[in-house]
Chains A and B, each alone.
Chain A
Amino acid sequence: MDADSDVALDILITNVVCVFRTRCHLNLRKIALEGANVIYKRDVGKVLMKLRKPRITATIWSSGKVICTGATSEEEAKFGARRLARSLQKLGFQVIFTDFKVVNVLAVCNMPFEIRLPEFTKNNRPHASYEPELHPAVCYRIKSLRATLQIFSTGSITVTGPNVKAVASAVEQIYPFVFESRK
């Protein structure tokens, strides 16, 4: 088997973070009072609201910015964000759903082999940094994709990136390198 052969690696997206604006100020007290599944963090000035379907958690700020986390795809994130905006609308705010964007995607991927981390780090300086005293994984940054990969000796790779596409191409890029240092 060689690195170029066609390999289907499952990339499991575990979290998608997105933000949007409502273009109006939000009365957090009102949301806390009339919304269900809410937590009002008065000291920080935000409200957490959870939706059941899709399962997301939204952080609502009084400025009208909302951060949604917990979705497992970009589409789901958008759907959840729209639902949340709709709920806010129902509460009586003049909500306009704007500036939606996915800001961060977290995914995991299992390589079908173990990886020799010291060797991998040596071959991939300066992108890779391995400090077993700090963290068991090698941290590998791909600047062009703005993606960061945590590569574990077991073959698990955790990827964070600005969107799903970047995450997928980050895994594609890293594969030949980890393949070289496989057990």
Chain B
Amino acid sequence: MAARGRCPECGSGSLVEDAHYAQQQLVCAACGCVLSEGLLTTTYTDEEHLREVAYSQSTGQKEQLSRCLQRGIRRVQDLCKVLQLPAVFEETAVSYFQRALQLPAFRLVSLEKKELLGGCCVFVTCRQHNWPLTMGTVCSLLYAKQDLFASVYLSLQKELGLSVPALSLADLVTTHLNSFRLFQPTANVPAPFLEDREKLLARTMGLVELASETWLVTGRHPVPVVTAAAFLAWQSLQPGPRLSCPLARFCRLAGVDLPPPAHLRLKELLEILLGMASQLSWLRAFNLDKKTVVKHVGDLLQHRVFLLRNAFSQQDGEEQQDMALGQPSPGQHPVGPDSLDQNSLNKNSLDKDSPSQDSLNKDSPNKDSLDKDSSGQDPVGPGSLDKDSPGQGSLNKDSLNKDSPNKDSLDKDSSGQDPVGPGSLDKDSPGQGSLDKDSPNMDSLDKDSSGQGSPGQGSPSSPVAQGQGCPSAGKGKQQRGALRPLLPPCLLHPRKRLRAAAPSAPAAAPTGDEPISDSEIEQYLRGPEEIQAFRKAKGWL
């Protein structure tokens, strides 16, 4: 263009051809002088129906973009602005949107879905750039239902073949905390409730990491976890005034929504913390409960790795694996508890299996009594048969006789014979037997096992034992709680009964081609009288 000549006015060579709507013009870029103009229209005769220049060209609007696309692009751009995303994100999101709309999968879909498509593009872009944006946020901005959004999102991912990295929890913690209104003094937040952002962030991050190490995050919605962790962190930073503030109030003050599962996450986190606290030597003297343990969160987090290793049996998974491979329903961890027992026993220097330890057997009554529980067959204490390993059983009997009323009980080891997995947990926790009343420490142990092991299974059969175990349970946990395996909570507290191994195969497995007799069929058909009666009944209705 510049080669075409120079501007007569200023002598500059930068001449630009510019389309002023439909009219071509040659303009000097330096001074703005218009050197020549094209005709606005051609002659009337050339121009049939006055359509020489298409309307879209004359207005400068790109009308070839469908209205839907334009609207969508604007939507995407607005959304990016609302979320204050960098410009790059906007471009990527728009290009995703354009690509998606060309796909047949998004041609004939409802307008609602097309609007969501824009949101999905923004969401995907953010995720790909590790920008912590949750679906909940996008949905609330678009007034969309989450399930519809999810379906659009999944199909977009499939159609465009996008790979979307996982949401980074750490980033999410940062952004989620930033939305809390607890950092600046405002009218409705009491002074003791104000917190320093950095401190809260660091502690929350620690708690969230702890949660993810202890299976509290996997498969869960991240926001409730973060909320619960933030609440705990906030309480722990200044326990005095804040301990009495419930989670709901905290969320109201902070100006964030309280996602319903946050209460559950909080409970699970506290359980983990309690477990850890039981291993911290200077806390052993105290009877910690869910309230008081909060004060020590700082200490607990500091020694996280060590405490986790001590408080929960980490290898349990491995051992269990080895043992349970052949077993149909590993969910119950039939083996895990056993390994636990061993540990705790060793600690106490009780060697269950070695007969030479007779002198120690004082403690061992616990086991026996427990067994009873686990086997679930003997509701009555004294008469009960406890199964232990045969050799041991006899030893125990003898040695026990003096301190424990258990004497009569025969111990059989439950692990070998009891089909009930969880029951074996109880083994190490002595408290359950009704017999154990006299031995206080046993009781305390119990708690643990009864609480975490198999809520459903041991209890029904031994109401007496349960009754006794429970009251002492709280204390027992911290004293020298039997190690519980570090597992997803749903495995520790199974809500539904796990499937029986495999329904025992019916005597004759059907081949699908057996003959079918008429008599079998008749049970599925109504007899003539029945039909009559049915008709009559229908008439009345």
Contact = CB atoms under 8 A, between A and B. Distances in A.
What are the nearest 3 A-B pairs in CB distance? Answer: A78-B512, A136-B219, A75-B512
A110 B329 contact: yes
Interface string B495-514: 00001011100000111111
Contact of B317 (A54, A113, A118): A113
A74 B512 contact: yes
B163 A153 contact: no
B191 interface: no
Contacts, number: 145
Contact of B222 (A126, A132, A183): A132
Contacts of A131: 135, 150, 153-154
For B150, B317, B512, B514, which residue has the most chain A Cβ atoms within 10 angstroms?
B512
A110 B136 contact: no
Contacts of B222: 132-133
B509 A73 contact: yes
B540 interface: no
A35 B525 contact: yes
B441 to A, nearest CB: 32
B134 A34 contact: no
Contacts of A65: none
Contact of A79 (B219, B510, B531): B510
Interface string A134-145: 101100000000
A137 B220 CA distance: 9
Contacts of A78: 510, 512-513
B325 A8 contact: yes
A132 B512 contact: no
A183 B317 contact: yes
B501 A10 contact: yes
A165 interface: no
A109 to B, nearest CB: 10
B188 to A, nearest CB: 30
B325 A110 contact: no
Interface string B257-291: 00000000000000000000000000000000000
A153 B219 CA distance: 7
A87 B525 contact: yes
Interface of B: 134-136, 146, 150, 153-154, 157, 161, 163-167, 215, 217-222, 317, 320-322, 324-331, 487-488, 490-491, 499, 501-503, 509-514, 516, 518, 520-526, 531, 534-535
A182 interface: yes
Contacts of A156: 331
B525 A73 contact: no
A114 B331 CA distance: 9
Given A12-B499, A110-B331, A114-B487, A75 B509 contact: yes
A129 interface: yes
A112 interface: yes
A91 B511 CA distance: 25
A126 B501 contact: no
Nearest to A100: B512
Interface string A107-127: 010111110111001100110
B523 A36 contact: yes
Interface in A41-96: 49, 51-54, 72-79, 82-83, 86-87, 90-91
9 contacts: A33-B531, A34-B526, A79-B510, A83-B520, A116-B218, A121-B166, A122-B166, A131-B135, A182-B317
A83 B519 CA distance: 11
Contacts of A152: 219
A108 to B, nearest CB: 7
Given A90-B521, A129-B157, A130-B166, 9 more contacts: A12-B328, A110-B329, A112-B325, A113-B330, A116-B218, A132-B217, A133-B135, A133-B222, A153-B488
Given A90-B525, A111-B330, A112-B324, A79 B166 contact: no
Contacts of B512: 74-79, 82
A132 B321 contact: no
Contact of A87 (B320, B325, B524): B524
A51 B204 CA distance: 56
